[in-house]
Amino acid sequence: MHKYRTLIFIAGLTVLLLSQYKLIMPFVYKIVASDLFLVNSKDQASQVAITTPLSNIAFTHCNNYIKSELGPDTTIIFPEKPLNAWTLGNYQYLISAEFSITNDKSSNEKKKYACRITYNNGDNEEGALDFDNWSIIGVSGFKDM
């Protein structure tokens, strides 16, 4: 038995690779090609920065979130519109913007941030103004103050 250990190992490895190649991978390819992971939405992703009513509302909600995280003692001035806003599809937005923050020393400092936010109600845009219908996925750039 000791003589055949290497031969059994090579045969087992060959059987494993052939079963993966002939049985498992074709099954995986059929699942990937199916509509199982398809999200059907009116909101299509865009590689170009956009300005839509929902992206503007997403910008406002991101600003309100930042203001709530920094607290009422901090003086923040937000611009009227973001630097850029992209739709990632399925009502997910990436907002890039900046704000001015005033310290106790009367210095005015500009900070840039990126906010990823999702509108949870999909094609039903009636509740877009309600922050409870949105989910902040992540915000970067304002915590390092």
Q: Which tens digit of pLDDT belongs to each residue from 13-47? A: 999 999 999 999 999 999 888 887 776 777 778 88
Q: What is the four-CA torsion angle of 123, 125, 131, 134, rounded to 10 degrees? A: 10
What is the pLDDT averaged over residues 83-99? Answer: 93
pLDDT band per the 50, 70, 90 thresholds, residue 103: low
Q: Give me the pLDDT at residue 34, please.
A: 84
Q: Give me the pLDDT at residue 105, please.
A: 62
DSSP 132: G
Cβ atoms of 136 and 115 closer than 8 Å: yes
Antiparallel, parallel or unpaired: β 84-89 and 92-102: antiparallel
Q: Is 83 helix (H, G, I), strand (E, B) or coil?
A: coil
pLDDT band per the 50, 70, 90 thresholds, residue 106: low
Q: Which residues pair with 109 in a beta bridge?
A: 101
Percent of the chain residues topping a pLDDT of 90: 50
Tens digits of per-residue pLDDT, 44-77?
A: 788 888 888 999 999 999 999 999 888 887 888 9
Q: Give me the pLDDT at residue 3, please.
A: 80
Q: Is the pLDDT of residue 144 over 60?
A: no
- Position with higher pLDDT, 4 vs 39: 4
pTM: 0.71
pLDDT band per the 50, 70, 90 thresholds, residue 114: very high
- Position with higher pLDDT, 104 vs 60: 60
Structural element, H or E, at residue 7: helix 5-19
